[in-house]
Every structure is written in C-alpha cells, then in structure tokens.
Amino acid sequence: MPFQGDIGGGTRVRKSAFELTPIEVDKLRQAFAALRKLSVTDPADPRGWLQQANVHCWNCGGGGASVENIHGNYWFLPWHRAYLYFFEKILGKLVGDPDLALPYWDWDTRGRNVMPPPYVIPGDGSNSLFDPYRGVVAWQAMPASATSAEEMKRLLSLRDWASFMGGPAGSRRPGALEFGTHNRVHQWITDPGGRANCGVQDMGIFSTAGQDPIFFAHHANVDRLWDVWRSLGGEQRLPADAEFRQRTWTFYDENKRWVSISTDQILNNAGSLRYEYRRPSLVGRMDHGIAASHPLTGAVTPAPSKSVAQAPGAAQLLTSEPQTVSAPVLVSAELALFGAAPPSLEPTVRRLHIDGVALPPGGSTTVRVFVNLPDADERTPPSGPNYVGAFTVIPHHGSGHADVTRQDVAFELSAETEQVVPGVGAILVRLVPLAGEDMRPLGLTLEYQNVYVATE
C-alpha cells in the first residue's frame, strides 16, 4: 500500500546519543531488546532484528542484480532515511511508545568522536545496544582528521548535489558524505587501526552493518547532515529529475504492512515523516560555520613531471606506498573521451575524478588525495589548498564473495583548491593510502582507472 503519512504520536525528536537521559537510554535499550527477542520468538516477523538488518543487506547487493544498489549513487540518502523511519516506528511500536526517537551520533561535534557511551557501556550482551563485532572500545577516539571541523566544512561547502549526494541512478559514483566520513566511520568501528585492509563484520561490511545498533545512530547523523547541507542552499540542492522524485521504495511498517514510499514523500521529514533533529546542546556544536582559518601547507604548483605519464583508461595499482599520477584537466568537450556524460546545464563546478576504484573482495581502505603536492605522504596534514579530500572503500560483502564493486570517486574542487589547479593542461595527483591517522596500511592492492579534472 502507498504511504499515507505518519500517524500515531506527535513529532519525534531525535537527540544526540550523548544527551539522552537515563530514562531515554532505558527505553531505547528496551526497544532494541524487544527487537532482538522478536527475531528469536518469531523469525518470520519482518519487524524482527535480523529481518530488519537484512533489509539493508538486501539493498546493498544481497538481493542480486535485480535489486538496485542503494549505495554509490544519489539513492543513498533518501533510501537510508526511509529505512530509518520505518525502523524507528517499529522500535516505538514494540515498546508502546509512538514518540520513541532514534538518537544520532554526532561524531562531528567536538569531543564526540568516540562511541556514544550507551552503546559501549556495559560492553556485553546485557546491553542490547552493544555489538561484539567491533574493534573499538569505550572512549577510543577516532582519528581527528575523519571528522575534523575542516573536514566538515569541506563537506558542507560543496555546492552541487552530485558532489554531496552522489551521481544519478545507475551511476556508481557515491557522494562525498558517503565515500568520506560515512564510510570512514563504518571502517573505523570494526578496524580502528585500518591495518587489516578488509572489512570486518558487522559495521565494516555493508551486508552485515545493520546488525550493529550503532548503525542507526550513525545513519541518523548522516541523515541530519543531509538536512544541514540542504538548509545552507535551498531546492537546487536536490536532483530535479522525475526519476529521483518519484522513485518508490517498499518497507514493512510497524504494523507489518508492506508500504511503498516515494522520495518526494521523505524529503520533508518534519512534515510527512514527523521527526526532527534537536541540535547538539553541549559545548561543541558544529564547528563548520566558524572554522578558523587553518594553516596553509605550502601551496605549490609544480609543472607536471614527464616521468608520471598516464594513458587514459589504463588500470593502475595503488599499493601501500603513496603514488603520484598525472591527470589531465579536461574542458567539457573532452569528457566523452572518458565515457563521462557532457554537462547538461551551465558548467558549475570542477571535480577531480578517480574512476574505477576497486579493491579485492572484502577489501577496505582509506586514501587521501592531494593535488600538486608530489611529496605528500601519510604524515602530511590533510589541510590547505593542495588537499582535496579522502575516500574510504567499504566492501559490500565479506571476502567469501566474488564480486568486486567498482566506484567512481569525484571530489568537487573547493575555491581554495581551484587556485592551485590550472584551467587547462595537467596536474599531479598524489594518492596517499592511510591507516589510522598517519600510518601506511599493510599489503594494499587498490585498483583504479582514469584520473582527470572535469568541469561539469
């Protein structure tokens, strides 16, 4: 049946997981416990814990080729919003509280780059928010660069929906929120050192990620940041194509009804879904708007060296060593050479593309990207005009699976970086594999194809 709008209860207020009252923590734990129990007492109930986790798995490749993947393109944000909506309603139903709201983990607030305490303390089966398949422990801090004020500012300054949300349906191009901090947090939770180069159950692999309760707090924050970014821009921050607006997704609701909901119906969460985010109320808040001017690490624009030639289309291998490649700066007419669609509107932004990124099945890693800084390595600070951003690759399935998911990663050039990238010619792109904050990963074999800058 088609979604009729949210009914039952008032507006659900999602709060930071760091700001829950003891009573709210209790209620949340009861709800997750009820969900887990339902999965045991009635495995066929579509609202149970494993069934719900498998909804995520099904849509990330587990459903086979006929099910469109909701990672790696602009479906990522709307689909996860709908998933969380129905999940939240089910939690509330199981404890008889229609106002129960999912908390969000605001890793972007200063000091909150640690797991929210209710999810890790106590760290055993008595806590329904705990999950044994994690590498992190209570109070362990995420690498500062993953969620730094500068990183958030970079993310929220993106001008174009394709940069932030991902490429259109059918593309394999994740948006910066997905391939950046979102993936990094998934990876960090199971492999905090980043040395394993493989996804680890649960959060580290998309097919099992929904089996860790922190998934839902992590994604509530991703969902919140989508709203923050939209509020900074307006309607042009949404894809205008009818396919985006009208696409429907189907979920079981809290009454086990099979409900289809369209993207249009979920865009206004306060209205049609009746939930909203309460801003983090403590010290940190979001730093992005007020980020102080950061130290610039020497902006240099060396002439591309002859020794790093690269033919379009050639597959390249990135191992644990940082690597420099020469990338052409294309004008629009040249895009077709690389199989990219020519821009349909006025060219608005330039992006640095790294196409065809792939790891062996089950593989996972983070790579920092610099332009015209050929000496950059894992100790080079991720800031300044020459730093373009970082991407993290997370496997869709464990290593038993044969499939390799290729992705196209594209970084919108910031106004600052524009200054060090010429209008035509070529640039040097420095790829720096990263484990933790400033270490090289071990035994990495990442494949990628074309690297180029394009105006779109």
Q: Which residues bind ligand C2O (CB under 6 A)?
A: 56, 60, 71, 80, 182, 186, 206, 209, 219
Q: Which is nearer to ligand C2O, 357 or 432 (CB)?
A: 357
Q: How far is the CB of 135 from ligand C2O (least distance, A)?
A: 17
Which residues are CB-neighbours of 346 under 8 A, at least 6 positions away?
Answer: none
Q: How far is the CB of 295 from ligand C2O (least distance, A)?
A: 32
Instruction: At 236, list the tokens.
Output: 């042009």
Q: How far is the CB of 157 from ligand C2O (least distance, A)?
A: 23
Q: Which is nearer to ligand C2O, 64 or 298 (CB)?
A: 64
Q: How far is the CB of 50 from ligand C2O (least distance, A)?
A: 16
Q: Which is nearer to ligand C2O, 81 or 186 (CB)?
A: 186
CA–CA separation, 255 vs 272, rounded Å? 18
Q: How far is the CB of 79 from ligand C2O (least distance, A)?
A: 8
Q: How far is the CB of 186 from ligand C2O (least distance, A)?
A: 6
Give the residue ranges of DSSP H helices in 343-444: 415-418
Q: Which is nearer to ligand C2O, 80 or 89 (CB)?
A: 80
In Å, how far are 159, 184, 225 from 104, measured between CA atoms?
Answer: 25, 17, 11
- For the chain, the first-to-last Cα distance in angstroms comes to 39
Q: Which is nearer to ligand C2O, 71 or 134 (CB)?
A: 71
Q: Which is nearer to ligand C2O, 199 or 436 (CB)?
A: 199
In Å, how far are 49, 320, 389 from 287, measured between CA atoms?
Answer: 35, 33, 18
In this structure, the dihedral spanned by the alpha carbons of residues 180, 319, 409 and 225, taken in order and rounded to 10 degrees, is 0
Q: Give the 3-state secondary structure of residue 388.
A: strand
Do the beta carbons of residue 440 and residue 433 sit within 8 Å? yes
Q: Which is nearer to ligand C2O, 76 or 448 (CB)?
A: 76
Q: How far is the CB of 76 from ligand C2O (least distance, A)?
A: 7
Calculate helix-pair angle for 149-156, 214-231, nearest 10 degrees: 60
User: How many whole angstroms from its chain centre is CA 183?
Assistant: 5
Residue-wise over 418-435: b if at least 16 C-beta within 10 A, else e? eebbeeeebbbbbbbbbb
Which residues are CB-neighbours of 303 under 8 A, at least 6 positions away?
Answer: none
Q: Which is nearer to ligand C2O, 89 or 182 (CB)?
A: 182
User: How many whole angstroms from its chain centre is CA 229?
Assistant: 14
Q: How far is the CB of 185 from ligand C2O (least distance, A)?
A: 8
